[in-house]
Amino acid sequence: MTKISSLTDTYTLSNGVKIPIVGFGTWQTPDGEVAKESVKSAIEAGYRHIDTAAAYGNEDSVGEGIKASSIKRDDLFLTTKLWNADHGYEATKKAMDKSLSELGVDYVDLYLIHWPNPEKFRDNWQEVNAETWRAMEELLKAGKTRAIGISNFRQHHMDELLKTANVTPMVNQIFLNPSELQPEVVAYNDAHDILSEAYSPLGTGKIFGVPELKGMAAGYGKTVAQLVLRWSLQHGFLPLPKSVHADRIKENTDIFDFEISDSDMKTIDGLHGLAGEATDPDTANF
């Protein structure tokens, strides 16, 4: 297992790029001062990995938060994502330029296809994904991103993509927490040297209501959030916790001074469905 002792520890992606093992998520973080201040607080708390997306509508404020911090751009790992309406070769390139402009940066560290099968392209998603990925490979070669990947892809989506891809995705960001382990997807990722990133690692807050986790966290002298984030790391995932409260943002970093026992890991693994499950990308209405 990769050494996990601080927020600045890294996993190594398949192309050699280092990615900090915990990221700060900004999904559902309102654009404006809230997003700016939460990103600034996260960086001050020690995060060096920030995750956003065009669809979140807050790229400009995330960029402002980065600028407001005292950390140099090159010392941060920044991810954004291509939204569903912008699939296709030319549209992908335009969307990347727009995201870079919104963020106020020259490059991102990771660019992801947000969903594999948007409603708009449901009749020919395979061909559209192939063209989208061709554009992303060119963006990688041009230095506009240091790594490329996917999000919410299942095995059949990845199988189709790999038929024409010259570069294997380096990351697959999926809904991943004790309530939804997605074992088939994770196994596929592992077999192809694709890092499994965990969005909603706290189950969009629902995880806090699971009695088994409350009791177990108390036994370790930790919060439920700290317990679940540690669980994610011990599985080799990369969690992306999100908060807009500076105290919680800091609290969620205190996950490196304890280890969950094997028996407790198995107990947590058995909590399927208690805090939501992944959206089916082939039937999602967006």
Residue type, 55: A
Query: What are the Cα distances from residue 18, in Å, to 15, 51, 198, 252, 281?
Result: 9, 15, 17, 22, 29
Query: What are the Cα distances from residue 41, in Å, to 33, 38, 66, 211, 261?
Result: 12, 5, 10, 30, 31
**CA-CA distance, 78 to 170, in Å (whole number)?**
15
The residue assigned the tokens 């999926």 is 174
The first and second tokens of residue 214, run together, are 């409350």
The residue assigned the tokens 């700016």 is 36
The first and second tokens of residue 54, run together, are 């065009």
Among candidate residues 11, 47, 56, 107, the one labeled active-site is 56
- Whether 56 is a known active-site residue: answer yes
SS3 207: helix
**CA-CA distance, 145 to 216, in Å (whole number)?**
40
**CA-CA distance, 58 to 113, in Å (whole number)?**
17
**Is the Cβ–Cβ distance between 93 and 61 less than 8 Å?**
no
Residue type, 27: W
Q: What is the DSSP string of 75-114?
A: GSEEEEEE-GGG-SHHHHHHHHHHHHHHHT-S-BSEEEES
Calculate ∠ Cα 38-41-42, nearest 5°: 85
Catalytic residues: 56
